[in-house]
Amino acid sequence: MKRKNIHIKFLCRQLPLLLLLLPLGSCFDPSEQLKPDTPQGNFEALWEIIDTRYCYLDYKGIDWDGVKAVYQPRVDTISANNYRGLFDLFAQMLDTLQDGHVNLYSDFDVSRCRGWFENYPANYSSSILYSDRYLGQDYKMAGGLYYERIADDKVGYIRYNSFSDAFSSNNIAYALMYCADCPGLILDVRDNGGGSLEYARKLAATFFAEKTTVGYMQHKTGNGHNDFSEMVPMEIDTAMMPHRWLRPVIVLCNRQSYSATNFFVNAMRYAPYAFVVGGITGGGGGMPQSYELPNGWLIRLSSVPMYDREKKHIENGIEPDYAINMTQESMAEGKDDIIEFAVELIEKLTQQPETK
């Protein structure tokens, strides 16, 4: 088996961001020179912020000077009061980064990466999940965790919708206690778009026997594309959570498992009894920071690259141990292929216990 500057406060209220593991102080012009509030001034500010602060230009092989040569002449075709046109042009330019953490915020719209999630199978259906075959309507809730026993009460199941939803060690304890007679557990983080990196680390700690390094991160140290600090280990510390599940746990994910969820799935690959099932995650391996353009628009971008334990980028997503897609035939029968496979895997692991 496979081995396994408006205000930052505004963004923190409105967006499910990863918790930043670096000092706050992101609202500064990297060039330390104010640009005029004109179409060209805002373009120069935006292009320069990406050029000096974005962490994946070289990794993704993006010719940012070439992008400037393409888009800057178009700015002169947009009148000073055509905010919609300027916003759309900036959004097109930012889409060349193909990064779900890159967004431009204005009073009238938010740009986003096209096709990053949509070009993959959905691999999730809430109507099937909340049918009587799985969670049903009488599921239990503990903090942000929804839990129940499924497959004739033989398998524990926990659904976690967002790493922005709080939970405590007691919440975890009650969910695990309810599933204590089950030989294995399914932990479903499909369509979980991220949130708090701290919650991701706490939840993962439930499934580790000892403190474990699961990846690395770097900080930007200068304006050059490759100006980074040495790699800093990212650890799962079991001291964070007093309760343990050291039996099979199957993590379900899909392309919408993004940002902090991407980190969580990566971490769980190194848990001794964990296996990842479903589709490739959405990535989002770069922790974001935000900057303000002269006209008040905000640009959010990936600034701090993160890696797995083998020091490989996790920006483009985590491949599952078992790639399983939901089929139309099964869905028509009210079945979730990914959950069904996870149940069968737990039965197999129970018969032939195996760690990774």
Name, in order, each residue with C-beta under 8 angstroms of 129's C-beta and a sequence gap of 6 or more: 135, 159, 188, 336, 339
Tell me the backbone φ, ψ of residue 129, rounded to 5 degrees. Answer: -60, -40
Whether 297 maps to a domain, the answer reads no
Q: Is the pLDDT of residue 20 over 70?
A: no
pLDDT 10s digits, 120-129: 999 999 999 9
Q: Is the pLDDT of residue 180 over 70?
A: yes
- For the chain, what percent of residues have pLDDT higher than 70? 89
Exposed e or buried b per residue across 270-308, where buried means at least 16 C-beta atoms within 10 angstroms of its C-beta: bbebbbbbbbbbbbbbbbbbbbbbbbebbbbbbbbbbbb
The number of beta carbons lying within 10 Å of the beta carbon of residue 20 is 16
Residues 135 and 188 in one domain: yes
Whether 135 maps to a domain, the answer reads yes
How many domains would you assign to the chain?
Answer: 2
pTM of the model: 0.88
Residues 150 and 59 in one domain: no
Query: Lowest mean pLDDT: which of 33-42, 67-76, 247-256, 333-342?
Result: 33-42
Q: Is the pLDDT of residue 30 over 80?
A: no
pLDDT 10s digits, 208-218: 999 999 999 99
Whether 114 maps to a domain, the answer reads no
Higher pLDDT, 65 or 18: 65
Residues 185 and 271 in one domain: yes
The mean pLDDT of 60-68, rounded to a whole number, is 98
Residues 147 and 82 in one domain: no
The mean pLDDT of 274-286, rounded to a whole number, is 96
Residues 172 and 80 in one domain: no
Residues 178 and 217 in one domain: yes
Query: Do residues 268 and 276 touch, judged by C-beta distance below 8 A?
Result: yes
Query: Do residues 298 and 292 touch, judged by C-beta distance below 8 A?
Result: yes
Residues 143 and 215 in one domain: yes
Distance CA 157, CA 231 (A): 36
Whether 85 maps to a domain, the answer reads yes
Residues 145 and 180 in one domain: yes
The mean pLDDT of 44-73, rounded to a whole number, is 98
Name, in order, each residue with C-beta under 8 angstroms of 279's C-beta and a sequence gap of 6 or more: 120, 121, 123, 253, 254, 255, 320, 323, 324, 325
Residues 101 and 224 in one domain: no
The number of beta carbons lying within 10 Å of the beta carbon of residue 23 is 7
The mean pLDDT of 48-57, rounded to a whole number, is 98
At residue 26 the predicted structure's pLDDT band, cuts being 50, 70 and 90, is: very low
**What is the pLDDT, as a whole number, of residue 116?**
86
The mean pLDDT of 42-49, rounded to a whole number, is 98
**What is the pLDDT, as a whole number, of residue 69?**
98
Query: Do residues 291 and 104 touch, judged by C-beta distance below 8 A?
Result: no
**What is the pLDDT, as a whole number, of residue 21?**
40
Whether 190 maps to a domain, the answer reads yes
Instruction: Output the average pLDDT for the chain.
Output: 91
Whether 49 maps to a domain, the answer reads yes
Residue after which a domain boundary falls, among 74, 105, 136? 105
Higher pLDDT, 354 or 150: 150
Residues 274 and 330 in one domain: yes
Whether 292 maps to a domain, the answer reads no
Domain range spanning residue 12? 8-105
CATH label of the domain that carries residue 309: 3.90.226.10
Distance CA 216, CA 232 (A): 5
Distance CA 184, CA 133 (A): 18
Residue after which a domain boundary falls, among 75, 105, 135? 105
**What is the pLDDT, as a whole number, of residue 355?**
56
Residues 198 and 336 in one domain: yes
Q: Is the pLDDT of residue 43 over 80?
A: yes
Residues 101 and 225 in one domain: no
The mean pLDDT of 108-131, rounded to a whole number, is 94
At residue 257 the predicted structure's pLDDT band, cuts being 50, 70 and 90, is: very high
Distance CA 48, CA 54 (A): 10
pLDDT 10s digits, 305-336: 999 999 999 999 999 999 999 999 999 999 99
Whether 110 maps to a domain, the answer reads no
**What is the pLDDT, as a whole number, of residue 356?**
60
The mean pLDDT of 16-41, rounded to a whole number, is 58
Cα angle: 93, vertex 192, 324; to 5 degrees:
95
Q: Provide the pairing of β-strand 249-253 with 274-278.
A: parallel
